[in-house]
Amino acid sequence: MPHEGPLAPAPSRRTMHRLKLRTEHIALGLCLLAVVAAYAVGRQVYEHIPHLEDELAYWWQAQIQARGKLKIPSPPEPQSFLVPFVVDHRGYRFAKYPPGWPMLLALGLRLGVFWWVNPLLAGLSLWLLYRLGSRLWNPKTGLAAVLLAMTSPWFWMLAGSLLPHMATLVYTGVLLLFWLALVDREAPRPLFWWGFVFGAMALVWTRPWTGLGVLLPFGVLALWRWRQGRLSTGMLLGFAGAALFTAGSFALWQWYVTGSPWQNPYTLWWPYDRPGFGPGRGVLPQGHSLRQAWINTRFSLWVGAADLLGWFRVSWLFFLPGLWALRDRRAEAWLLILIGPVLVLLYMAYWVGAWLFGPRYYFEGFYGYMLLTVLGIQVSAQGLAWLLGKVGVPRPRAVGRVAVGVVVGVLVALNLRFYLPLRLGMMRGLYGISRQAWQPFLRPEAQRFTPALVFVESERWMAYGALLPLEDPWLTTPWVFAWSRSDILDRRVWGCFPQRTALRYDPVERRLEVWETRPLPCPEEASENQMTGQAPRRRPETSP
| Band of residue 525 on the pLDDT scale cut at 50, 70, 90 | low
Task: Return the top range by mean pLDDT from 175-184, 224-233, 411-420, 521-530.
Answer: 411-420
Q: What's the pLDDT at 184?
A: 82
| Band of residue 416 on the pLDDT scale cut at 50, 70, 90 | very high
Q: What's the pLDDT at 537?
A: 27
What average pLDDT does the structure give for the chain?
90
Q: Which amino acid is at 459?
A: E
Q: What's the pLDDT at 11?
A: 65
Q: What's the pLDDT at 543?
A: 30
What DSSP character marks residue 421?
H
Number of alpha carbons in the 13 Å side-chain half-sphere of residue 4: 2
For residues 149 and 139, give the distance between their C-alpha atoms in angstroms, rounded to a whole number: 15
Number of alpha carbons in the 13 Å side-chain half-sphere of residue 181: 18
Contact criterion met (CB below 8 Å) for 105 and 115: no
Residue boundaries of the structural domains of the chain: 298-433, 435-532
Residues 62-107: pLDDT tens digits? 999 999 999 999 999 999 999 999 999 999 999 999 999 999 999 9
For residues 498 and 522, give the distance between their C-alpha atoms in angstroms, rounded to a whole number: 9
Is the pLDDT at 355 greater than 80? The verdict is yes
pTM (predicted TM-score): 0.92
How do strand 72-73 and strand 92-95 relate by DSSP bridges? antiparallel
| Band of residue 362 on the pLDDT scale cut at 50, 70, 90 | very high
Rg (CA), the chain: 27
**Lowest-confidence pick of 88-102, 141-155, 326-340:** 326-340
Q: What's the pLDDT at 417?
A: 96
Is the pLDDT at 274 greater than 50? The verdict is yes
Is the pLDDT at 267 greater than 50? The verdict is yes
DSSP assignment of 295-333, as one string? HHHHHHHHHHHHHTT-STT-TTTTHHHHHHHTTTS-HHH
Residues 479-500: pLDDT tens digits? 999 999 999 999 999 999 999 9
Strand, coil or helix: 225: helix
| Band of residue 534 on the pLDDT scale cut at 50, 70, 90 | very low
Q: What are phi and psi for residue 387, nearest 5 degrees?
A: -65, -45
Q: What's the pLDDT at 113?
A: 95
Q: What are phi and psi for residue 240, nearest 5 degrees?
A: -65, -40
| Band of residue 264 on the pLDDT scale cut at 50, 70, 90 | very high
Is the pLDDT at 7 greater than 80? The verdict is no
Q: Which amino acid is at 37?
A: A
Q: What are phi and psi for residue 338, nearest 5 degrees?
A: -85, -10
For residues 21 and 186, give the distance between their C-alpha atoms in angstroms, rounded to a whole number: 21
Contact criterion met (CB below 8 Å) for 91 and 539: yes
Neighbour tally for 459: CB within 10 Å: 7
Residues 157-200: pLDDT tens digits? 999 999 999 999 999 999 999 999 888 876 667 777 888 888 88
Is the pLDDT at 368 greater than 80? The verdict is yes
- Nearest Cα to 263, choosing from 63, 18, 96, 412? 96
Q: What is the mean pLDDT of residues 458-482?
A: 95
Burial 33-67 (b: 16+ CB within 10 A, else e): ebbebbbebbeebbbebbbbbbbbbbbbbbbbbbe
Q: What are phi and psi for residue 156, nearest 5 degrees?
A: -70, -35
For residues 119 and 46, give the distance between their C-alpha atoms in angstroms, rounded to a whole number: 13
Task: Return the top range by mean pLDDT from 150-159, 237-246, 485-494.
Answer: 150-159
Residues 104-119: pLDDT tens digits? 999 999 999 999 999 9
